[in-house]
């Protein structure tokens, strides 16, 4: 049975310097830029580069995406920017994953590793609902807080992405920028 991986990445820290700026348009804060670079290095070191990225179309998620993949010496993964991930619920995020991976399956080979770059609380709630197992300390840390630029890496074995349902996966790791060494 094929093994699939799902990386759930919360966007990096955004700035609130301009209170008149709509939420969707907020850029990254300097701290967010540093955190995204740290996560980018981690993705490279751990060989966690996805085949497909599904990214909210908000400014801060697009900027996080650019900081993750621009410095890499590889081709940027196929990326779909979608408004459907902006402040989406766990069910909405799962629907986007299943819809977009189904399109990929009919066009070519299904992606084996998909990354979502989106927002809380939907991302954290999805990350908590999918695993039926994993290291207890990671699950407890994830349940406590899903900070900006945090990464939950989840794996599951199934025939296809449509089989991804709550409780069917394993939380392989939960990483925050603060937990990584420079």
pLDDT at 109: 73
Summarize pLDDT for 33-85 with one digit per residue, the tens.
Answer: 999 999 999 999 999 999 999 999 999 999 999 999 987 777 789 999 999 99
- What's phi and psi for 67, nearest 5 deg? -70, -30
Q: Once rounded to an integer, what is the mean pLDDT over residues 99-126?
A: 88
Domain residue ranges in the chain: 3-179
Q: What percent of the chain has pLDDT over 90?
A: 87
Q: What percent of the chain has pLDDT over 70?
A: 97
Q: Does domain 3-179 bear CATH number 3.40.50.1980?
A: no
Summarize pLDDT for 113-128 with one digit per residue, the tens.
Answer: 999 999 999 999 999 9
pLDDT at 173: 97
């Amino acid at each position: 049975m094929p093994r699939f991986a799902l990386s759930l990445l919360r966007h990096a820290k955004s700035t609130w310097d301009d209170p008149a700026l709509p939420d969707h348009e907020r850029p990254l804060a300097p701290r967010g830029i540093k955190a995204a670079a740290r996560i980018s290095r981690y993705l490279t070191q751990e060989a966690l580069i996805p085949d497909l990225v599904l990214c909210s179309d908000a400014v801060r998620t697009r900027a996080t995406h650019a900081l993750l993949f621009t410095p890499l010496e590889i081709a940027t993964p196929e990326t779909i920017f979608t408004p459907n991930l902006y402040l989406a619920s766990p069910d909405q995020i799962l629907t986007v994953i299943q819809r977009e991976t189904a399109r990929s399956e009919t066009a070519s080979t299904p992606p084996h590793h998909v990354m979502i770059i989106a927002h809380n609380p939907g991302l954290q709630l999805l990350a908590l609902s999918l695993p039926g197992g994993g290291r207890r300390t990671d699950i407890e840390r994830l349940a406590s807080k899903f900070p900006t630029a945090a990464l939950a890496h989840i794996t599951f074995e199934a025939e296809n992405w449509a089989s991804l349902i709550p409780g069917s996966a394993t939380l392989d790791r939960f990483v925050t920028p603060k937990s990584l060494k420079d």
